Structure 1
Amino acid sequence: MKNRSLLRATRDVYVLADKPNSTSADSTKYWSIKIDGLDPADIRCAVNHLREKQLENAQTHEERQALKATSLYDSIAKSLGAKSHRHWLNEEYPKIQKFLDEHGMHTPTDLIKWQFRPGFCDALTARRLADRFFSSELPLPKRMFTGVGSYLFAPSGYGRMDVQEVAGQYFDTDEAIYDYCVALAEQRVLRAVHMRDGCQLSFLDLTGRTLMLHAVSEFIGSMYCLIGDNLMDPMIKEPVMRSYNMSILEKEFELKVFHLFRQEVESSNDGWVEVIPLPDNSHIVFLKGKNGCFDWIIRDQRDEKYSSNNLYPFFRKEELPSAISQNKLDAHLYFSTGRWQEELEHRAEEKHYLNGGTVRTWPGYKKLIEKELFAEGYNTPRVITGKTNNYFVPHRLDKYCLMVSPLITIREFFEFYVKKDWGQTRLERAREANWDIESNLMSVNSDPDQSLPVSVTWLDAIAYCGLFQRETALPVRLLSVDEWRQIAPPAKPDQSALSALHTIERGGSGRRPRDSYWEKRGWCVEGSDRRFGKDSSDCYSPNGKLLFNSNFQLFSNNEGLDFVESPGFGEWLGDRRYEKSALIAAAYADEKARSSIESDSHSITYTLREEGLKTGFRICYIANADA
């Protein structure tokens, strides 16, 4: 294999390189430069590409100096652990070639992305590994389990019911399932023939231990992290789980599942990689897999290009409301070097619960991290405010006056929809972004009464915010989770027969429930077939229509602002993580029921029609200090 191909990147790799001759700090101190590999030709291409894009916009002497080619070569070389570009060419690069040959590494491979990881598992990324290897102050392990090459969770759809079928008896607790499976830990108990897409195996025999791990696979997500030594060998530190607010008994059970997981992955070399630092270079670590496969990680590596608009290309920057395009914190987290971000998130979330926080009072990662950084001396960005407007209802919160609109109506939204030809634009932008967006908004907005709340995707709500700001100069946005909880009225007691909620009587094979869960809840959404919630075939039909029914009711907070009292409606909030956003509903009386919808696990491209829900929104902004 040619040297350039040998050292090619197997994923997008961005390095943080000092801007030559720059006196700036923080996010303007570095260039974020994409490199396609470690070959000198890759470095030349990276510099040429950066200069082509940036020189035409360089206006000051300092900006032009920061794009000098020879200085950029040195900056990239230093980010790779060399003293200069010349040192990289003459010393480090030849050393890497010899190093690969000595260790039998000859096939570049992505050894990080586990194709068949279990559900609720966040993917490992190169940045997460870089933070752990270079910024945690923890010793490098000899090996780590990434999962690549492991078929442990390749079977699809196997769980608790399968344990009971194998045992021929019913287990009423996970502990009982655990006891049964552990007794058969090494015995093959089931042949799994339903495999996940992309798996080349036609079947996989499951032991009692692996069947147990499938039965409680949701626990694995909290273990598949890099904070402790959960995935490391040797395992020196105690395991650290990314699970919170658990009882002692729940923690004890989780620990038993973890030990079972370790026993299983340690029984094979599948999924493990050797961790080998490049000698006399504190910036590059190599991962070695089977059959000469290898990968590499760079200090302060990033997985994507920094963008002040991470919703591009669906939104152009000028289309975003200014309140959500503020990016000082995002830039700080992206360009800060030597920081272990996964540990920062974990510490922030742990403190939230230790200080009495609950799922219901969860403010989102961004707020929690900002609080942690503020304690370290980080200056939060200036809040954008606006004049008072009679369309909005003022709410006095702890430190500011929040102006909040009524729920946006079908009529209001579709005036914007028609005026800006948003129906066509949103579909074109979704194709450009490669997002599968709800294509037929009329399926959830065909109510005769156009003064009812509109139902849209999160992206549609943001588009409306952007237009509203451009027309009124008010810095509107969606409510945050924390703000919504402060202004929402207490949920009224649920009048439905709670004891019968999960007793669904079926009227014979192939028929729909006669006594539906959704109907018992007083669901305020039904299809054209008069079925409630998910019982309606209109949830899935391309031309189906979900409408509000006679159960739809409003109730007001102390300031007279209306909220939907009936189950079946949720409000989009501004809290977003990746391509998921928070959704919240006022209809649930108890914290557990309410928290089930209050999460950032809802796709920003869907209306949740397939769940028998309508999803609307309201807009808000912070009033000037003299309001």
Structure 2
Amino acid sequence: MNLFIQRIEEVNQGWIEVIPFNENLIFLKGEKGEYDFLFKNQRDEEFKHQIYEPYLKRADVPKFDDEYHFKRWFYFEFKGNRQQQSHQAETEYYFSGGKACDYSGTEELLKRSLYIDYAKTLVDLSSSIELPKFQKIRLENGKCLMVSDLIPIEDFQAFSISNPLYLEGRADVFEQEGLLDNLEAVNADEDTSLPVSLTWYDVMAFISWFNRKNKVESRLLTYDEFMEVSPFSEKIDDDSGLNFYSPPLKRILNGETSFIGQPNEEFEYNCLSFYDEKGDKIFGHPPYMKEESFQKIQLKFEDVKYLEKHELRFIDSKNFGEWLNDKTCVCCKTLTGFYNYIAKPTPVLDSTGKYKGRKTGFRLCYELKD
């Protein structure tokens, strides 16, 4: 950049006269009469308010998810050079020892580098209300959390009754774009006290409704909080010997479809089983089929085993996971992410984990004021 500036200053061509008009508008005049103008805070692109379209409206996103708030703040209120700040945030990350495998994305790095100024715009989400069925837990960092058990199917049924418009919009997305898992198929258990399995988008809509109803600002646990409050502690790496299903590959030759490989009949379900449309149990993972057919297959709990800590129940299974607050989830028994890694890449947010023979539930927490 210094060399570029030096070369520019050495030549006479290309210089313009800057003519201020008012606080919001300036004109640029060239030596041969050329002109242009600039508006204050002009952007190359219009700000997008509905960042989770078509899944969620902005009103369905709880306050703890500050992605929209940060995007809006960075777009309208940040006074520096955005490109330069993005470059500087990445430089700071790698020079401070950050690794590519732990890379959390440019926006998260931006948020860290600007956090002192950005944090001034955030509101306190803690509460003095102690809701029933929440356990009070004092963390090692001194923070006091109110933590719920896994949210059951019956609670989501109550949400569904209160929010018919959300479900209608969800059905439209499912029908038009083939996105989002069929919730009825993954929550068909007769025992509605069992944990509900939802996509990340459904969880956000539920939390927004729950917060309005109970006048708190609940959220999902962070990964570190989950590690502290749960009974699981030993990380298992990718060489643990666990069997994970790999579907057969689809091959089309001369217009005919066939599949390479066979379904893994030894795939271990560990508290979950598939059932076909007739109600017959499927042993092993279902064979490859069209998405429409797969969505009709039910995934139910079977012989669920729990572990307890802090009077909270956790499912003792590598095929059940919990959503966490940074758009990740963790499989309870293995403590790995959606794709079986210790690292935490973003999972498929429109999936419940069904395609991998899993269910993904969630529990709520909120910080209690001392």
Residues 1:555 and 2:303 are matched in the alignment: no
Structure 2 counterpart of 1:330, from 60, 66, 71: 71
CA contact (8 A) 1:478 1:619 kept: yes
CA contact (8 A) 1:491 1:586 kept: no
Name the SS of the counterpart of 1:603 in structure 2.
coil
The 2-side partners of 1:587 and 1:607 are apart by 17
The 2-side partners of 1:346 and 1:555 are apart by 41
The 1-side partners of 2:242 and 2:174 are apart by 44
The 1-side partners of 2:235 and 2:119 are apart by 43
CA contact (8 A) 1:534 1:612 kept: no
Which string of whole-angstrom CA distances, capped at 9 and with x for unpartnered residues, describes residues 289-326 of structure 1?
xxxxxxxxx9984544053x633565444443333368
Residues 1:607 and 2:352 are matched in the alignment: yes
Which string of whole-angstrom CA distances, capped at 9 and with x for unpartnered residues, describes residues 75-96 of structure 1?
665xxxxxx2xx35x6499748
Which string of whole-angstrom CA distances, capped at 9 and with x for unpartnered residues, describes residues 559-618 of structure 1?
12222221112222222xxxxx31222210679986457322x23222232222212111
The 2-side partners of 1:370 and 1:589 are apart by 27
Q: Which amino acid aligns with 1:523?
A: N
Quote the offset at 1:624 in angstroms: 1.7
Distance 1:610 1:74, change over 3 A: farther
Residues 1:543 and 2:296 are matched in the alignment: yes
Which string of whole-angstrom CA distances, capped at 9 and with x for unpartnered residues, describes residues 185-219 of structure 1?
xxxxxxxxxxxxxxxxxxxxxxxxxxxxxxxxxxx
Quote the offset at 1:399 in angstroms: 4.2
Q: How many corresponding residue pairs? A: 326
- Unaligned 5+ residue runs, structure 2? 1-19, 249-258, 276-280
Q: Which amino acid aligns with 1:570?
A: G
Distance 1:393 1:348, change over 3 A: farther
More strand by share: 2
Residues 1:417 and 2:160 are matched in the alignment: yes
Percent identity reads 22
Name the SS of the counterpart of 2:202 in structure 1.
helix
Distance 1:328 1:419, change over 3 A: closer
Q: Which amino acid aligns with 2:150?
A: L
Name the SS of the counterpart of 2:205 in structure 1.
helix
Q: 1:40-51 residue pairs with structure 2 within 5 A?
A: none
Moved more, 435-444 or 584-593: 584-593
CA contact (8 A) 1:385 1:623 kept: yes
Distance 1:301 1:488, change over 3 A: farther
Q: 1:225-244 residue pairs with structure 2 within 5 A?
A: none
Moved more, 396-405 or 589-598: 589-598
Q: Which amino acid aligns with 2:307?
A: F
Residues 1:585 and 2:331 are matched in the alignment: yes
In the other structure, the counterpart of 1:196 is none
Name the SS of the counterpart of 1:406 in structure 2.
strand
Q: Which amino acid aligns with 2:152?
A: T
Q: Which protein has the larger Cα radius of gyration, Structure 1 or Structure 2? A: 1
The 2-side partners of 1:612 and 1:94 are apart by 69
The 2-side partners of 1:93 and 1:623 are apart by 67
In the other structure, the counterpart of 1:569 is 320
Name the SS of the counterpart of 1:388 in structure 2.
coil
The 2-side partners of 1:515 and 1:438 are apart by 27
CA contact (8 A) 2:154 2:193 kept: yes
> What is the TM-score of this pair, normalised by structure 1?
0.44
More helix by share: 1
Which string of whole-angstrom CA distances, capped at 9 and with x for unpartnered residues, describes residues 340-369 of structure 1?
343344246436755x9995xx88877665
Residues 1:467 and 2:214 are matched in the alignment: no
Greater relative CO, 1 or 2 (CA 8 Å, sep 6+): 2
